Amino acid sequence: MTVRIGLVLPDVMGTYGDGGNALVLRQRLRMRGHDAEIVEITLADPVPDSLDIYTLGGAEDSAQRLATRHLQRYPGLQQAAAKGTPVLAICAAIQVLGQWYETSTGERVDGVGMIDVTTAPQEKRAIGEVTTAPAIAGLTAPLTGFENHRGGTKLGGDAAGLARVTRGVGNGVGDGLEGVVQGSVIGTYMHGPALARNPELADLLLCRALGVAELPPLPLPEVEQLRRERLRA
């Protein structure tokens, strides 16, 4: 079987190199002997519900709005998540998949409604390294990323935080949390790309995509070196 990785709307939500998350997923699968391919879904395509895992990247406000409309019009992502297919949402994608978000000019936009979060602009843009302690089963290592967002995201009752912030801002609403988890959706403000810096998170998503409890270890000294460097930065 070929594992099919959906890279959702890289034409509008890919400004921060977050497409690298799909590359990391594909490479970690191939290094373990799985066939894997990336399926790019652009604004010209309907969104299929049949892929094995989906990733969405960050974007600026206007691009984010185009993506929101497209995902509302073609609800393949919502259908896939409802079946339990893993979805990784980075930064603006958290906002898009939520109930609503306000742009930096204060305009409220209805989100896709897949996760119970709302986002409003904060006084100060959060920019810089962010480090967190994971708060979900299956993750033990500190998470590291680079954040760059003005939006602050409040979690509703159906959503939980991905991690607790140890450095940086994270969701930015004073609850000390970073990211969001709800059903098969994992969201984080971490760019990096996040999965290049956090192989444990990559493998958690892959385990879910493959329906296995664990994967054989994949020791990559350069990834460990990158982590050490970033966690010290």
State in angstroms the smallest separation of the CB of 189 from ligand GLN: 8
Site for ligand GLN in 186-215 (CB under 6 A): none
85/153 with CB nearer ligand GLN: 153
- List, as one string, the DSSP characters of 92-145: HHHHHHSSEEE-TTS-EEE---SSSEEEEEEEEEEEEEEEEEE-STT--SPEEE
Name the 3-class secondary structure at 23.
helix
Is 191 catalytic? The answer is yes
State in angstroms the smallest separation of the CB of 33 from ligand GLN: 34
Alpha helix (H) ranges present in the chain? 20-30, 61-73, 76-82, 92-97, 194-197, 199-210, 221-232
Give me the sign of the Cα torsion angle 100, 144, 208, 70: positive
CB of 32 within 8 A of CB of 218? yes
96 binds ligand GLN (CB under 6 A): no
CB of 115 within 8 A of CB of 94? yes
Number of chain positions touching ligand GLN (CB under 6 A): 12
16/54 with CB nearer ligand GLN: 16
CA distance 189 to 130: 9
State in angstroms the smallest separation of the CB of 135 from ligand GLN: 22
Chain-centroid distance, C-alpha 102: 19
Is 70 catalytic? The answer is no
Site for ligand GLN in 132-161 (CB under 6 A): 148-151
State in angstroms the smallest separation of the CB of 95 from ligand GLN: 6
Query: Which one from 34, 70, 91, 149 is the annotated catalytic residue?
Result: 91
92 binds ligand GLN (CB under 6 A): yes
166 binds ligand GLN (CB under 6 A): no
Site for ligand GLN in 46-85 (CB under 6 A): 58-61, 64
CA distance 186 to 181: 5
Residue ranges in contact with ligand GLN by CB under 6 A: 16, 58-61, 64, 91-92, 148-151
Question: Active-site residues: which are they?
Answer: 91, 191
